[in-house]
Structure 1
């Protein structure tokens, strides 16, 4: 029997909406609302959804960077988020970032030296490795972050648009390596990308989120077909109608102010 790697049970994530005048927020909305799904070890999951649907929020939660507000989450294994800028200190050099990351994970000096060499070999940053990350291009940051995560060898990879910047040659190198992780090492991978061809080729399971809610989970080709049909239908609307549809979806995510007990719990009693 295959063990699960991630079990999400009625999970919600709530954000506060800032008032335009800077005063205390009086509205909140569901970034994610009542999500439930289970992913087995070794599965490769393509996370689909239009902009603002909650994909990156889910990535942060799966990586253990962001807490949930409702429900329960069970993750079995070490996880790493691969996204531009995530976990990188812009004031430190690339090499220093590697060593700090290793130290925070409790690695010994020899182990840190090993992962540093692994990053040097994979990232191909040359002398830029010894320059502050704040001087890097977005593509270079992606190279460094991706290479560090690969070197740390987690059980669960969460890749959030990390291959959308930089040169195509390095993106292919990363995809080839992830193919090996999928086929040879049985790693669990969550993959967020706007490239449907990449998602269809690489992933096995599709997880479609829209308006913060789970719309569909199933075989990747079937979910991609349904998602693309939805996007095509949405894009076929004129600008005014499209704006109306999107506003309605967002309004459905708002939490009514009259939920005073709920509001008080989240804000520590401030009203």
Structure 2
């Protein structure tokens, strides 16, 4: 099978400071200040054309950071990401300019992706119809609810027809009818052999839609494989975590964070 995404030894590091003066000193002096936090550390996996991969993991594990790297929104600190085709991220806050109207955002996004005026004129009514946000299409995006942002973002992304679709919690807001419409559209993409990465807190949606699972556990890959093999292990971890006492949970989180934080 042809590879669509190859992620090799990817890490993403951020600097964290206890006070503003540390940040300034880190910029002007040779000695490093602050600590380095690894949102992702040594992530490696491959996706093939037609793969539908659910990215699972508890909050703070680095799922959204990974989705942004795959989509080219942010670069990795180290490692390589090879994306064979056009990737598009669908997230509640991604790619929409608050001061522009929905209609203006459609035009801007399409222009940035190389569509000409004629193509944009043809696509715009289809995008507006799918988003189904009524007169808000001509209002500034800053007035939108999270559900309306998600609708517009999803509508734009699927109609520009990317090779690789990255969906980050975009179906967690809004009504069930729209979510079902989106899943139908995603199934069309699936049938056409496109690669889809799907992030959702809904384990039911994951099991129903995804064939593979990438379990990201506090910045590293815990397991990658068939959904039927990975999800039971993830659910067992979740059940075990829920049974921990408050003190045990705090200790567990502390140990994990210490592993992700290193002195600069």
TM, length-normalised to structure 2: 0.94
Partner Cα separation in structure 2 for residue 211 and residue 147 of structure 1: 31
Secondary structure at the aligned position of 1:71 is classed as strand
Equivalent residue for 1:55, pick from 63, 66, 82: 63
User: In structure 1, how many angstroms separate the alpha carbons of the residues matched to 2:76 and 2:143?
Assistant: 34
Query: Residue 115 of structure 1: CA displacement?
Result: 1.7
Look up the match of 2:29.
none
Task: Measure how far apart 1:22 and its partner are.
Answer: 5.7
**Contact 1:115–1:148 (8 Å) recurs in 2:** no
| Partner of residue 16, structure 2 | 17
Offset at residue 255 of structure 1 (A): 2.0
Q: Which residue of 1 aligns with 2:209?
A: 202
Secondary structure in 1 aligned to 2:22? coil
Q: Does 2:125 correspond to 1:117? A: yes
Instruction: Specify which of 139, 153, 160 is matched with residue 147 of structure 2.
Output: 139
Q: Whole-Å Cα distance in 2 between the matches of residues 242 and 46 of structure 1?
A: 25
Q: How does 1:79-90 map to 2 (within 5 A)?
A: 79-90=87-98
The size of the alignment, in residue pairs, is 255
Q: CA deviation at 1:20?
A: 4.3
CA RMSD of aligned residues (A): 1.0
Shift of 1:177: 1.0
Whole-angstrom distance in 1 between the partners of 2:75 and 2:21: 25
**How far apart are residue 23 of structure 1 and its match?**
3.2
Pairs within 5 Å for 1:24-103: 24=23, 26-103=34-111
- From 241, 250, 258, the equivalent of 1:251 is 258
Instruction: Choose the corresponding residue for 1:167, options 144, 168, 175.
Output: 175
Range 50-59 or range 108-117, more displaced: 108-117
Q: 1:231 aligns with which of 218, 235, 238?
A: 238
Gap runs ≥5 in structure 2: 24-32
Distance between the aligned counterparts of 1:72 and 1:255, measured in 2? 22
2:195 corresponds to: 188
Tell me how far apart the structure 2 counterparts of residues 18 and 100 of structure 1 sit (CA, whole Å). Answer: 36
User: Secondary structure of the residue that 1:247 maps to in structure 2?
Assistant: helix
Residue aligned with 1:89, SS: coil
Asked if residue 220 in structure 1 is aligned to residue 227 in structure 2, the reply is: yes
Cα distance in 2 for partners of 1:15, 1:181 equals 35
Whole-Å separation in 2 of the counterparts to 1:17 and 1:124: 41
Name the SS of the counterpart of 2:249 in structure 1: helix
- 1:256 Cα deviation (Å)? 3.1
CA distance in 1, matches of 2:209, 2:38: 30
How many Å apart are 1:151 and its aligned residue?
A: 0.9
TM-score normalised by L of structure 1: 0.92
Structure 1 stretches of 4+ with a deviation exceeding 4 A read none
User: Which structure 2 residues correspond to residues 2-13 of structure 1 after superposition, within 5 A?
Assistant: 2-13=1-12
| CA 1:94–1:224: 2 relative to 1, 3 Å | same
Give SS of 1:143's match: helix
Q: CA deviation at 1:240?
A: 1.0
